[in-house]
Structure formats: C-alpha cells, structure tokens
Structure 1
Amino acid sequence: MSDPSRLKLLRVVLVLLGIVCLAIYPLMQVWPSGWVWHEGYSDYPMMIVGIYATLGVFLILAARDPLAHRSLIWFFVWSSVVHGGIMAVQALSHAEHMGHLWGDVPALFLAAIVLAVLMPRPARM
C-alpha cells in the first residue's frame, strides 16, 4: 500500500475508532455482557466512559494530521494491548466475564493491530 493511501486509510480508521470510543456508553447499554464489568451500581463504568470519550475526541482530532500525533496513536495502540490483555486474563479467571472475550477484549486487540499496521514507518537510511 502506498504511503498516501495508507495515510488516508489511517485517517479514516482514526475517525472510526474515535466514534467507537464515543459509543462506549451505548455499547454498555445494548450489550452489557460484552462491555460492562460490574453488576449493580458502580462508579467504574462512567469513569471508563469519560476516559474513552476523551480519547475518542482526540483520535478524531488526530485524524487531521496523524503524523503530528504519533505519540497519541502509539499510546492508543499499546494501552489497548495492555488493557485487552488484563481484561482477557480477568475474563478467563471469572466465568461471569467470559462474554468480554467476544466484546471489548477483541475490539481492543483489533483496534491496536489495525492502527499499528497503518502507522507509517520511519524512513531507513
């Protein structure tokens, strides 16, 4: 894939991932077994919603000039891998959380992989 088309696709993916981050709360409402980790009342889900909504806005803004926002994009990649890994271990350790292995866990890994693949590599000398 050529660099201009790769950069264009990266911009599209950043906007789409930003929208998904902004949609975490509706996903929690529609598919709780795949997106919510607490039953009953908890402050935790709204903290996650706040963090991901903020990240979503910044991913959308980064789509304008992805190369100027490399650190944000790589933060998203690596924090998604770490977050997904921790959640996978927790889901495997607790039967009531197995639905996450079909919801937010693969979503985090997929997002990280797609962004990592699309990120331009530094020119080699």
Structure 2
Amino acid sequence: MKTIKTEVDVETYSELVRMRRSEGLPSVSALFLKMCGVLTDDTEAREIVEKARRKITRLEAGTQFRLRELFGDERWEGFSKGARLRAGRLFHEYAEEASHGILLLGKTSANHRRYEKR
C-alpha cells in the first residue's frame, strides 16, 4: 500500500477537518479520497478501525465498550452503513488476535459485539 503526504498550513488543515466532519468521514485522508471519487467502504472501514485503535489507547483498563461508542452516535451514523459493517468485522478480527489488550465479551440484544480494554 502506498502513502500520500500533503503538508498544509494550520488554517488549511482546520478547514479540511471542518469539511471532514461535515461529511461524516473518519479522517482528512478519507475526505481526499471521497473528493477524488475513489473512497470505498473498505477504505473507510480501515480508517474507522485505525481511529478506534487510537481511541482505545486513551481508555482505562477494564472499560467496556462497543465500537460505535468510541465515536458517538452522530459521528458513527455519519459513516456509510457498508463501512460501519466492514469496520465491525475488521475490528472483531483485530480484537480476536488477543495480542492488543482487548477482550471479546458477549453480544448485546441488538447483536452488537462488546469489548473490554485490558
């Protein structure tokens, strides 16, 4: 996989973040891909999982959560449904590896997987 880097000033970055939020996207990179017409559910899902991994590092040990709880309802609903479903599968695979300090718990009545930070 290739990486694209773009340096911008603080004002431009702030504007890009504002645009990203208004589009309901997980990152400025996803905004660029969407604006170029090449953002797929798979790409967006990988971005969601990466954001979730970073958010988990800030949680206290023993904290239980669902993937969507890491983002808040409004932000989570802003992601495409296909990306949310793929992100759930990808995150489950990530947690299943059992080497990242995430414990798999049962499912909720709505069939959403619960996790716990170790």
Q: Same fold (TM over 0.5)?
A: no
Normalization by structure 2: what TM-score? 0.30
Which one has a larger percent strand, Structure 1 or Structure 2?
A: 2
Higher relative contact order (CA 8 A, sep 6+): 1
Normalization by structure 1: what TM-score? 0.29
